[in-house]
């Protein structure tokens, strides 16, 4: 977990609300990622960014949005359009996207819809 911080650790959302999950890294990594984890389903990629001011959709981007204005920050917004947002959200980063670089993960944010 070292070098990547996520906040808050726990987040509760009411129906119809947008919420933003924070991810910050001090590893000087170019690439950053957001994954969603559900029980028994492994991790699924939501969005990723290879460089500042650029990002791409992953496998399950609907109902989510991101920004990458700074190299060290990659916040994720869970919008009201996301029908089933209750999950554990993990942010990761790597030196570069692709190739042999290892992705390192933050401690996660658990989002619960009330």
Contact residues for another protein (CB under 8 A)?
Answer: 1, 4, 6, 31, 33, 40-45, 48, 50, 56, 58, 88, 90, 92, 94, 96-108, 110
Minimum Å gap between C-beta 83 and another protein is 22
Decide whether 57 or 70 has the Cβ nearer to another protein.
57
Decide whether 52 or 104 has the Cβ nearer to another protein.
104
In sequence order, the 6+-apart residues with CB closer than 8 A to the CB of 84 are none
**Exposed / middle / buried, residue 75 (Cβ in 10 Å: 0-12, 13-18, 19+):** middle
Spatial separation of the C-alpha atoms in residues 77 and 43, rounded to whole Å: 18
The CA-CA-CA angle for residues 58, 75, 5, to 5°, reads: 110
Minimum Å gap between C-beta 100 and another protein is 4
Minimum Å gap between C-beta 88 and another protein is 8
């Amino acid at each position: 977990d070292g070098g990547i911080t996520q906040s808050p650790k726990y987040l509760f959302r009411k129906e119809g609300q947008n919420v933003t999950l924070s991810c910050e890294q001090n590893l000087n990594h170019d690439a950053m990622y957001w994954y969603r984890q559900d029980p028994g389903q492994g991790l699924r990629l939501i969005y990723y960014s290879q460089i500042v001011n650029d990002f791409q959709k992953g496998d399950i981007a609907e109902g989510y949005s991101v920004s990458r204005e700074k190299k060290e920050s990659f916040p994720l917004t869970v919008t009201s359009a996301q029908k089933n947002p209750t999950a554990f959200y993990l942010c990761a980063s790597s030196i570069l996207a692709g190739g042999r670089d290892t992705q390192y993960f933050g401690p996660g944010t658990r989002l619960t819809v009330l």
